[in-house]
Amino acid sequence: MVRLGFIIGFVAVIGVLLSGVAAWRAYDQEVAIDRIALSRAIDVNASLVQDRLTERELLARVASGLFRSPSAVRANMLEPLRTSIYAFKTDFVVAGWVARLLPSKFAQASAALAAAQFPNPQIRSFDDKPRSLTAPDKPIDILMDVEPRNAETAILPGRSLDQQPMLGPMFARAMQTRTSVASDPVNLMRSDGPIGVVLAAPVFEEGSEAPAGFVTFSYELASLMLTNDELSLFSVVLKDPRKTGSELIADDRGNVTTRLRQPDDPAPLVIRTVTFGGRDWSLGYYPKTNAAQRAARLAAVVAAIGLALTSILCGLFGYVVYNNLRLSREIEVRIDFERRLTAVIDELNHRVKNILAVIQSIVTRTLRHGSDIDVARELLIGRIHAMSNVVSLLSESQWQGVKLKGLFEARAIPHSDRIAINGPDITVSARAAQSLSLLFFELASHSDEGLSLVGKHPHIVAHWEIEGEDSESVFHFRWEEFNTSAATRREDSDFGIILLDRVAPEALGGLSKRYFTDVSYVYELTAPMDTVVDMTERDRTMQISTLPNAVK
């Protein structure tokens, strides 16, 4: 009996020890898993927030760069920019043109606002009260145009914003730094409107050091950075720069409210800093669940099971082994998912940077000094439209290439009804598609829109063929415009010449030439098929596109 009691006691001690070890192991691994998942989710969220903020700063810079010799007293300054603005992002609440006017220009500005059919064309203060001028020679910031125009926004033009508590200091900083600046959080549109921020970019007249005004974009905080949903592991708050010890938090419906922190409130688990409008913003992350309590409950369950199965040591050992294997597999699955997610994000960043670099080059070359603003604006919109169209086609194919004939069937190509295409329907790579889309646009946009010497519109023939086999195959492309000549065809722009003679051939690793015959204008491009198709890129993209299925 004593021996049996000893054996039972020994088994009980072994069972308690094993149960304790199993409980500690389950607690430690559950806490580690939650910590890894939460940390990775926070890093991804902060990175996405920074990317969104960077895109919106880029929109403000591009919009301010599109202004050419702005007239301060015009009320329709945003009219020529609407297409370009909406080509980037449309999640802003309202965009505005704020002009810096001397009081002597107020009468002219009021007349311009009245001509633009704004309901209240009088110059007034930011709170819609009569404006008293204390410094008649000092420029005042007047809102002259808004986008979109509706019943709520049409009443805003005519207000002076330099004395507004949040916007006035923002304009002063923008003038001092000469770059885009963000305001403190402010109620948008009205005193009880949604909380958001305003981004202002100064606009300079040629040869002037003082800004003629500012392009502004207003964004709601909820859609910009405070994304909280039911499935997220954390809630995000923004440190309120206006009040120490207060936070801005958005609920599941996107309503942003101010929350005062008490001395005994828990601190955020992680604080991340993002940059927007020339200043740093602090994001605080609070976990939605208590990982330690959940891990403790799991450990208690493991210990209870272990104690209940003390007499069956093998069963207890088997449970511990099974539990350890389950937790280990879960860690491996989550780590593998993070690696795959990192690969997808790196690939996306790579493609976005390439596209932004191309757009930056297009904007810089098109809006070079001395170019005609109307022609430059038309070419810029067309080139960006051509880039946007090919990106849409590539997105539909998961960046695995585009049918060459599909580039001609797109609406981004001018005079497509006069182009006769002839050639095998090959699939070109993403890089080749971007270069060829811009190439086709440049060729088509410079074809003669008027009548030639024989009284006919140019008839365009685009022909391509493939010679050779396997690695020796060569891609030949020929563009020929009949019924045209050097005297009737519009001369290629500087950007077009660079694209036709250098950029497109170098991107495809080939050679090009252009010349006039007795009856036509001809452009020829020859390149190896390896660079036109680029199977290495297609294989890499295909592997990335299969990652979500693999994770499932």
Helix (H) or strand (E) holding 531: helix 529-533
The pLDDT tens digits for 64-113 are: 877 765 565 777 878 777 777 776 666 788 998 999 888 888 888 899 88
440 CB burial (10 A radius; 0-12, 13-18, 19+):
buried
Q: What dihedral do alpha carbons 103, 104, 109, 111 form, nearest 10°?
A: 130
Residue 126 structure tokens: 């930011």
Share of the chain above pLDDT 70, in %: 75
Q: How far apart are CA 180 and CA 201, in angstroms?
A: 4
Note the pLDDT of residue 398: 66
Q: Look up residue 115 and give its two tokens.
A: 């001509």
130: tokens are 């009569």
For 397-429, write each residue's pLDDT tens digit: 666 678 888 777 656 677 677 788 888 888 888
pLDDT value at residue 41: 85
Verdict on whether the full-model pTM lies above 0.75: no
In the predicted structure, residue 345 carries a pLDDT above the cut 90: no
Write down the pLDDT at residue 524: 92
Distance CA 133, CA 123 (A): 11
Predicted confidence at residue 216, as pLDDT, reads 92
User: In whole angstroms, what is the distance from residue 515 CA to residue 462 CA?
Assistant: 15
The lowest-confidence range among 306-315, 375-384, 513-522 is 306-315
Strands 419-422 and 459-467: parallel
In whole angstroms, give the CA distance from residue 162 to residue 158: 12
Query: Distances in Å between the alpha carbon of 271 and those of 45, 186, 267, 454?
Result: 12, 22, 10, 72
Specify the DSSP class assigned to residue 509.
T
Q: Higher model confidence: residue 365 or residue 19?
A: 19
Q: What DSSP assignment string belongs to 357-389?
A: HHHHHHHHHHT-TT--HHHHHHHHHHHHHHHHH
**Nearest Cα residue to 443 out of 469, 480, 488:** 480
Counting Cα atoms < 13 Å in the Cβ hemisphere of 55 gives 21
Per-residue pLDDT at 451: 41
pLDDT computed for residue 39 by the predictor: 86
